[in-house]
């Protein structure tokens, strides 16, 4: 999956470079729109791969700079650390463990836009926000989910939900069409911060998303 993320980044840079090489001297049409909204979705990458969907809104401060707000639901961004924490209990039960971090996140930040050509608008963004992380762990024997029973007490690292801070960095390219609509192809990296509870230190959670979006300017 890391190779897939690298390939996506290379393709994105190649698209931007191609747009720059084919640019012609011309005046861009005036764009007086201030607000833009977008629906996006795509795969998540990393130790566990799943999907995400979300929405984004932006407000133009200058020709190049926007403030954006984003809300996202990520199906599973589980880590190898979570698998390792569940493994001793699975061995004790003679079972296999299925683990997941399900995340609902909200972040706000700034987006810097480049006008390469009238048809290619690259951007970079950075933001901070909050993530609600729900930990899901199931144990199964021969494909049947079992109850760990009263003799097995799952710690907060395997059973609780937490609210944590989050940092987001990303880049991409928007392609305008039909005057006020645009497509969006991008990449987002998000670091959900570590947190200490009364019983367990919870490590940070890296997230990666390939963004496929469509939006409209107002």
Q: Is the pLDDT of residue 15 over 80?
A: no
125 in any annotated domain: yes
Would residue 1 count as lying in a domain?
no
Q: Indicate the burial class of 66 (C-beta count within 10 angstroms; 0-12, 13-18, 19 or more).
A: buried
Domain membership flag for residue 2:
no
pLDDT given at position 31: 62
How far apart are alpha carbons 16 and 63 in whole angstroms?
19
Per-residue confidence (pLDDT) for residue 39, from 0 to 100: 98
- In 1-64 the beta strands, taken as DSSP E runs, fall at 35-45, 50-60
Per-residue confidence at 73, pLDDT binned at 50, 70, 90?
Answer: very high
Does some domain include residue 163? yes
Q: Is residue 176 part of a domain?
A: yes
Say yes or no to pLDDT of 103 above 60. Answer: yes
The pLDDT of residue 198 is above 50: yes
27 assigned to some structural domain:
no
Residue 190, in any domain of the structure: yes
Ranges 10-19, 54-63, 99-108: which has the least confidence: 10-19
The boundaries of the domain holding residue 77 are 8-22+32-217
Average pLDDT over residues 78-99: 95
Number of domains in the chain: 1
If we measure between CA atoms, which residue out of 75, 159, 174 comes closest to residue 122? 174
Answer yes or no: is 166 within a domain: yes
Beta strands in the chain (DSSP E): 35-45, 50-60, 65-74, 96-113, 121-141, 144-146, 161-177, 181-192, 195-196, 201-202, 205-217
Share of the chain above pLDDT 90, in %: 72
What CATH code is carried by the domain that includes residue 122? 2.40.160.20
**For position 49, what pLDDT does the model report?**
94
Model pLDDT, residue 148: 87
């Amino acid at each position: 999956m890391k190779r897939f993320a690298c390939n996506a980044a290379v393709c994105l840079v190649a698209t931007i470079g191609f747009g720059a090489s084919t640019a012609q001297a011309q005046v861009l049409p005036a764009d007086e729109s201030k607000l833009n909204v977008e629906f996006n979705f795509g795969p998540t990458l990393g130790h566990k791969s799943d999907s995400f969907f979300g929405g984004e809104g932006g407000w133009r401060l200058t020709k190049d700079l926007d403030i954006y707000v984003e809300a996202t639901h990520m199906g599973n961004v589980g880590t190898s650390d979570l698998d390792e924490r569940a493994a001793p209990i699975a061995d004790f039960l003679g079972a296999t463990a299925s683990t997941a971090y399900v995340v609902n996140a909200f972040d706000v930040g700034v987006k810097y836009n480049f006008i390469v050509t009238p048809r290619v608008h690259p951007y970079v963004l950075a933001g901070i926000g909050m993530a609600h992380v729900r930990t899901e762990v199931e144990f199964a024997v021969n494909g049947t989910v079992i109850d760990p029973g009263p003799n097995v007490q799952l710690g907060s690292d395997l059973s609780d939900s937490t609210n944590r801070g989050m940092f987001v960095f990303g880049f991409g390219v928007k392609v305008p069409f039909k005057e006020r609509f645009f497509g969006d192809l991008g990449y987002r990296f998000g670091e959900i911060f570590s947190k200490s509870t009364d019983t367990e230190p919870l490590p940070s959670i890296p997230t990666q998303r390939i963004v496929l979006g469509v939006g409209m300017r107002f």
